Amino acid sequence: MVHGVRIKDHWKEQRLFERRALVAGCVIVVLTLTLIGRLYLLQVMRHDYYMELSQGNGVRTEPIPAARGLILDRNGHLLAGNQPAYQLELVPEEVPDLNGSLKGLVKLGLIDADAVDELRRMIKSRRPFDSVPVRLRMSDEDVARFAVRRFQFPGLDIKTRQTRFYPEGALAVHALGYVGAISEPDLQHIDRAAYSGTALIGKLGVESAYEKQLHGGNGYREILVNALGRSVQRQGALMPDLRTQAPAAGDDLVLSLDLKVQQVAEEALGDHRGAVVALNPRNGDVFALASRPGFDPSLFARGITNSEYAALTDNIDKPLLNRALRGAYPSGSTIKPVVALAGLTYHVLNPDKVEFCAGVYHLPGSTRLFREGKGGHHGHIALQDAIAKSCDVYFYGLAATLGVNRIAAFLAPFGYGSVTGIDISGEKPGLLPTPEWKKLAFKRPADQVWFPGETINFGVGQGYLLVTPLQLAHVASVIAGRGTNFRPRLVIGLRDANGTVKPIAPIAGKSVEGVSDADWDRVINGMVGAATYGTAHASFKGVAYSVAGKTGTAQVFTIAQNAKYDEKTVEERLRDHAWFIAFAPVDAPRIAVAVLVENGGFGASAAAPIARAVMDAFLLDADGKLKDASQAP
Instruction: Please give the average per-residue pLDDT across 335-362, as a whole number.
Output: 95
Least confident of 251-255, 298-302, 371-375: 371-375
Determine how β-strand 78-90 pairs with β-strand 71-72.
antiparallel
Pair 207, 339 in one domain:
no
CA 181/CA 201 separation, integer angstroms? 6
Q: Is the pLDDT of residue 607 over 70?
A: yes
Asked if residue 426 is part of any domain, the answer here is yes
From 216, 240, 268, give the residue that closes a domain.
216
Query: Which pLDDT score, from 0 to 100, does residue 24 have?
Result: 87
Evaluate whether 477 touches 279 at the Cβ level (below 8 Å): yes
Query: Which pLDDT score, from 0 to 100, does residue 631 have?
Result: 60
161, β-bridge pairs: 85
Tell me the three-class secondary structure of 26-77, residue by residue.
Answer: HHHHHHHHHHHHHHHHHHHHCHHHHHHHHHHHCEEEEEECCCCCCEECCCCC
Evaluate whether 358 touches 381 at the Cβ level (below 8 Å): no
Pair 150, 274 in one domain:
no
pLDDT tens track for 174-209? 999 999 888 878 878 888 778 877 778 999 999 999
Q: Is the pLDDT of residue 111 over 90?
A: no
Q: Using CA of residue 462, residue 466, residue 469, residue 475, what is the dihedral sign?
A: negative
Pair 624, 551 in one domain:
yes
Q: Using CA of residue 46, residue 47, residue 48, residue 52, what is the dihedral sign?
A: positive
Instruction: Choose, from 196, 333, 390, 539, the residue flagged as catalytic.
Output: 333
H helices, E strands: number in the chain: 23, 22
DSSP 495-547: E-TTS-EEE----B-PPP-S--HHHHHHHHHHHHHHHHTSTTGGGGTT-SS--
Pair 276, 182 in one domain:
no
Pair 156, 273 in one domain:
no
CA 135/CA 111 separation, integer angstroms? 7
Mean pLDDT over all residues of the chain? 88
Q: How far is CA 485 from CA 59, 420, 473, 478, 619, in A?
A: 58, 10, 12, 6, 22
CA 307/CA 299 separation, integer angstroms? 12
Closest-CA residue to 243 (of 66, 60, 67, 91) = 60
Query: Which pLDDT score, from 0 to 100, does residue 474 have?
Result: 98
Query: Exposure of 390 by Cβ count < 10 A (0-12 exposed, 13-18 middle, 19+ buried)?
Result: buried
CA 445/CA 437 separation, integer angstroms? 13
Instruction: Please give the average per-residue pLDDT across 363-372, as a whole number.
Output: 83
Q: Which domain holds residue 145?
A: 65-216
Catalytic residue flag (residue 605): no
Asked if residue 16 is part of any domain, the answer here is no
Q: Is the pLDDT of residue 262 over 90?
A: yes
Asked if residue 290 is part of any domain, the answer here is no
Query: Which pLDDT score, from 0 to 100, does residue 133 have?
Result: 83
Query: Which pLDDT score, from 0 to 100, does residue 311 have?
Result: 92
Least confident of 232-241, 336-345, 498-507, 529-538: 232-241
pLDDT tens track for 19-33? 888 888 888 988 998
Closest-CA residue to 297 (of 422, 489, 182, 168) = 168
Q: Model pTM?
A: 0.83
- Specify the higher pLDDT residue, 474 or 245: 474
Q: Is the pLDDT of residue 47 over 80?
A: no
Q: How confident is the model at residue 227 (pLDDT cuts 50, 70, 90)?
A: low
The CATH number linked to 179 is 3.90.1310.10
CA 501/CA 493 separation, integer angstroms? 6
Helix axes 404-411, 392-402, angle to 10 degrees: 100
Asked if residue 319 is part of any domain, the answer here is no
Q: Is the pLDDT of residue 321 over 90?
A: yes
Query: Which pLDDT score, from 0 to 100, does residue 240 have?
Result: 60
Asked if residue 145 is part of any domain, the answer here is yes
Q: Is the pLDDT of residue 54 over 90?
A: no
255, β-bridge pairs: 491
Q: How confident is the model at residue 564 (pLDDT cuts 50, 70, 90)?
A: low
Instruction: Please give the average per-residue pLDDT across 459-470, as a whole number.
Output: 96
Evaluate whether 162 touches 67 at the Cβ level (below 8 Å): yes
Q: How far is CA 591 from CA 284, 414, 549, 618, 624, in A?
A: 10, 17, 12, 8, 17
Q: What is the DSSP letter of 3?
A: P
Instruction: Please give the average per-residue pLDDT across 332-348, as a whole number.
Output: 97
Asked if residue 521 is part of any domain, the answer here is yes
Q: Is the pLDDT of residue 629 over 80?
A: no
Pair 330, 401 in one domain:
yes
Pair 137, 85 in one domain:
yes
Q: How many domains does the chain have?
A: 2
Q: Is the pLDDT of residue 491 over 70?
A: yes
Closest-CA residue to 369 (of 456, 446, 463) = 456
Q: Is the pLDDT of residue 236 over 90?
A: no
Query: Which pLDDT score, from 0 to 100, does residue 303 have?
Result: 78
CA 452/CA 527 separation, integer angstroms? 28
Tell me the three-class secondary structure of 98-164, residue by residue.
Answer: HHHHHHHHHHCCCCCHHHHHHHHHHHHHCCCCCCEEEEEEECHHHHHHHHCCHHHCCCEEEEEEEEE
Instruction: Please give the average per-residue pLDDT across 67-93, as a whole number.
Output: 91
Closest-CA residue to 174 (of 285, 268, 256, 288) = 288
Q: How confident is the model at residue 5 (pLDDT cuts 50, 70, 90)?
A: low
Determine how β-strand 274-279 pairs with β-strand 360-362.
unpaired
Query: Which pLDDT score, from 0 to 100, does residue 335 have?
Result: 97
CA 474/CA 161 separation, integer angstroms? 41
CA 459/CA 481 separation, integer angstroms? 23
Query: Which pLDDT score, from 0 to 100, does residue 181 have?
Result: 82
From 216, 246, 271, give the residue that closes a domain.
216
Instruction: Please give the average per-residue pLDDT across 299-305, as a whole number.
Output: 82
Query: Which pLDDT score, from 0 to 100, does residue 479 have?
Result: 98
- Specify the higher pLDDT residue, 496 or 192: 496
- Amino acid code (one letter) for 4: G
Residues whose CB falls within 8 Å of the CB of residue 281, separated by 6 or more in sequence, listed in order: 477, 478, 480, 481, 484, 486, 583, 589, 590, 591, 592
Q: What is the DSSP letter of 466?
A: B
CA 266/CA 172 separation, integer angstroms? 8
Query: Which pLDDT score, from 0 to 100, does residue 515 have?
Result: 96
Query: Which pLDDT score, from 0 to 100, does residue 7 have?
Result: 65
Instruction: Please give the average per-residue pLDDT across 462-468, as a whole number.
Output: 95
Asked if residue 237 is part of any domain, the answer here is no
Evaluate whether 407 touches 335 at the Cβ level (below 8 Å): no
Query: Is residue 585 reached through a cis peptide bond, with omega within 30 degrees of 0 on the bond before it?
Result: yes
CA 17/CA 633 separation, integer angstroms? 107
Longest CA–CA separation in the chain, Å: 160
Pair 413, 522 in one domain:
yes
Q: Is the pLDDT of residue 66 over 80?
A: yes
Q: How confident is the model at residue 110 (pLDDT cuts 50, 70, 90)?
A: confident
Pair 459, 595 in one domain:
yes
Instruction: Please give the average per-residue pLDDT across 519-541, as a whole number.
Output: 96
Most confident segment among 106-120, 275-289, 297-311, 373-387: 275-289
Pair 212, 340 in one domain:
no
Q: Angle CA(330)–CA(335)–CA(340) in degrees, nearest 5?
A: 155
Evaluate whether 615 touches 545 at the Cβ level (below 8 Å): yes
CA 565/CA 569 separation, integer angstroms? 9
The CATH number linked to 351 is 3.40.710.10
From 180, 199, 216, give the residue that closes a domain.
216
CA 278/CA 257 separation, integer angstroms? 9
Query: Exposure of 260 by Cβ count < 10 A (0-12 exposed, 13-18 middle, 19+ buried)?
Result: middle
- Specify the higher pLDDT residue, 173 or 60: 173
Pair 172, 275 in one domain:
no
Asked if residue 122 is part of any domain, the answer here is yes
Residues whose CB falls within 8 Å of the CB of residue 598, separated by 6 or more in sequence, listed in order: 272, 273, 274, 323, 327, 329, 577
- Specify the higher pLDDT residue, 550 or 162: 550
Pair 130, 273 in one domain:
no
Query: Which pLDDT score, from 0 to 100, does residue 131 have?
Result: 78
Instruction: Please give the average per-residue pLDDT across 413-421, as a whole number.
Output: 96
Q: How confident is the model at residue 275 (pLDDT cuts 50, 70, 90)?
A: very high
Q: Is the pLDDT of residue 221 over 90?
A: no
